[in-house]
Amino acid sequence: MAQPNPTGLFELFNEIGIINQLARARMEARLPDGLITPHFSVLNHLIRVGDGTTPQRMASAFQVPKTSMTHTLKGLVAHNLVDIRPNPEDGRSKTVWITEAGRQLRNDVIAALGADFGILLQHLNVEKLLEIKPVLTELRIVMDENR
Amino acid sequence: MAQPNPTGLFELFNEIGIINQLARARMEARLPDGLITPHFSVLNHLIRVGDGTTPQRMASAFQVPKTSMTHTLKGLVAHNLVDIRPNPEDGRSKTVWITEAGRQLRNDVIAALGADFGILLQHLNVEKLLEIKPVLTELRIVMDENR
DNA sequence: CTTGATTGGTGCGATATCGAACTATATGGG
DNA sequence: CCCATATAGTTCGATATCGCACCAATCAAG
């Protein structure tokens, strides 16, 4: 990979896949029954970016097919964690709003995971971890632009 | 995260999840019908690490449940890409061997993806990419040890 | 040797994921 | 205005993933 060798990317993606597995498992251990990582990711997104966005925009943000987002939102609605309302600006579209229960759940999970992640961070070189995120973001953007 | 703040880890895992999505999609675009990323990952693993290993060891390596590995291997066997034989050292276990067709397919996919990834690498800071893999590996190991 | 606990693998049921086809609405060109 | 095309969301069917329960083989303690 020093003179660009694609094999390095394989190994990188492999490592990323495993970390993804472990992160999911860790997350789901803290979530109430019937909720999985995508549910939490959506709640978190609604808080970080703000709610009132559309399903399609969220599907793009997470790079999943819109059918998957439909399914995830259905689960969240069933648990009263989000509300879905018509989109006043576009009759085809909808808007997604987090409920008070959703806000609460998200905060509880963050708190529970905070302790969990804190332990991880004690074993890690935090400085280096800080450095890799922008590199990953760059990688994500390049991958997204060239497909 | 400078003074360890768990929120940084959320964002990191989020970015990792998206890259994982994109990498999967890119990979599967190059795979023959009916085969998906886990199939290729197994073939690649058998070549890199050597075949004759057991399903359970591979499940551990990829951090997936053994039932998932059973399923993936079933697909590979159906396509004649691997052979499964008894394990002479342990009657409960089996051994997994890549076939000539499997070797061939793996090489073809690598070649096709090589060009694809090459384009990506042209748009990336390769030096920084090289630096992040050991950090990810460290993260993976710590996550694995503390669960 | 016997027996209880452990381990590797599979079958099954529940749920997740995703592509294809469909509906309804929106948009742009005549 | 009308129509062709594009877009947001859903439905549906196929397959993937995973936890649970099970079987068979191994191991460990006595």
pLDDT of residue A10: 84
Judge whether residue B67 contacts strand D, using its CB and a 7 Å cut-off. yes
pLDDT of residue B2: 46
Query: DSSP string of B97-132?
Result: EE-HHHHHHHHHHHHHHHHHHHHHHHTS-HHHHHHH
Q: Which residues of chain A have pLDDT under 50?
A: 1-3
pLDDT of residue A146: 82
Alpha-carbon torsion angle B59, B63, B68, B69, nearest 10:
-20
Residue B5 neighbours by CB under 8 Å, 6+ apart = none
Q: Which nucleotide is nearest to B66 (CA to C1')?
A: C9
Bigger pLDDT: B14 vs B3: B14
The model's pTM is 0.90
Residue with tokens 């057991």: B54
Residue-wise pLDDT for B75-132, tens only, equals 999 999 999 999 999 999 999 999 999 999 999 999 999 888 898 999 998 889 989 9
Q: Is A19 left (phi over 0), alpha (psi -120 to 50) or beta?
A: alpha
Q: Which nucleotide is nearest to A29 (CA to C1')?
A: D19
Q: Nearest CB to A136: which of B8, B16, B143?
A: B16
Residue A91 φ then ψ, to 5°? -65, -20
Q: Nearest CB to B14: which of A8, A26, A41?
A: A41
How would residue B59 be classed by pLDDT, with cut points 50, 70 and 90? very high
Nearest chain A Cα distance for residue B28, angstroms: 12
Nearest chain B Cα distance for residue A8, angstroms: 8
What whole-number percentage of chain B has pLDDT above 70?
A: 97
Residue A5, SS3 per DSSP:
coil
- Statement: residue B18 has pLDDT above 50: yes
pLDDT of residue A101: 97
pLDDT of residue A8: 78
